């Protein structure tokens, strides 16, 4: 019987280093499907999702050029769980459908699906191995607040809606410890990649 192709799900909390780790896999020639990028695609101007968001939140949710004001939507949904649920019920089915499409197009020896909500949504059903990128919460907060130019409180509010660190680690098949520099992260990804490739041959 043909074996299912290896799809590794790469997850972690905000600012833990998912995108940084995903770039390392890409540099090794592995196809990466990124749920955050897809989440942006489904709300591009003229999409049904952006039209629904406009209708629900009003014109104030759009920038002057009619694109989504992501900063405003971020402030709304992480302060109001009902609005967050509404948005997720709209976006997650569209995001999942595109993830499936893109994974089908992957040509590499194995594929990586990177998603912040892999374990919080049914996206984990699409993968057969789970990689958690992990670092202490203080590092998550300082890296993400610096990157997004927001306060520590803003990042903590988002973290509070995500799976707790230990609960996420408990689901991991493999862990990338991202409390060192980017070279150290790259070395760990390379080790994991070599293990995956050895099992595939």
Ligand X SMILES: Nc1ncnc2c1ncn2[C@@H]1O[C@H](COP(=O)(O)OP(=O)(O)OP(=O)(O)O)[C@@H](O)[C@H]1O
Contacts with ligand X by CB under 6 A lie at: 12, 14-20, 36, 116, 143-144, 147, 178, 180-182, 185
Report d(CA 148, CA 125) in Å as an integer: 30
| Contacting residues toward ligand COD, per CB under 6 A | 14, 35-36, 39, 70, 73-74, 77, 87-88, 91, 95, 115-117, 158, 161-162
143 binds, among ligand X, ligand COD, none (CB under 5 to 8 A by kind): ligand X
182 binds, among ligand COD, ligand X, none (CB under 5 to 8 A by kind): ligand X
Report d(CA 77, CA 166) in Å as an integer: 24
| 20 marked among binding-site residues | yes
Shortest distance, position 98 Cβ to ligand COD, whole Å: 10
| 104 marked among binding-site residues | no
**Nearer CB in complex with ligand COD: 9/116:** 116
Q: Are 134 and 167 in contact (CB under 8 A)?
A: no
Report d(CA 58, CA 104) in Å as an integer: 36
Helix residue ranges per DSSP H, the chain: 18-27, 35-41, 48-57, 70-77, 81-104, 137-148, 152-159, 165-170, 182-200
């Amino acid at each position: 019987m043909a074996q299912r192709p290896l799809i590794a799900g790469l997850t972690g909390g905000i600012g833990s280093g998912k995108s940084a780790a995903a770039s390392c896999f890409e540099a090794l020639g592995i196809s990466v499907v990124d749920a955050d990028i897809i989440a942006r695609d489904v709300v591009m101007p003229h999409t049904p999702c952006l039209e629904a968001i406009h209708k629900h939140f009003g014109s104030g949710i759009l920038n002057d050029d009619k694109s989504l004001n992501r900063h405003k939507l971020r402030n709304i949904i992480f302060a109001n769980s009902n609005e967050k649920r509404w948005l997720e019920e709209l976006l997650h089915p569209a995001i999942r459908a595109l993830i499936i499409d893109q994974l089908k197009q992957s040509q590499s020896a194995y594929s990586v699906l990177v998603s912040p909500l892999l374990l919080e949504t049914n996206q984990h059903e699409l993968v057969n191995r789970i990689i958690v990128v992990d670092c202490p919460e203080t590092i998550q907060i300082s890296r993400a607040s610096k990157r997004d130019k927001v306060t520590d409180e803003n990042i903590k509010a988002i973290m509070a809606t995500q799976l707790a660190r230990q609960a996420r680690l408990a689901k991991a098949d493999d862990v990338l410890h991202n409390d060192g520099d980017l070279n150290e992260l790259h070395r760990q990804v390379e080790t994991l990649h070599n293990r995956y490739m050895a099992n595939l041959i």
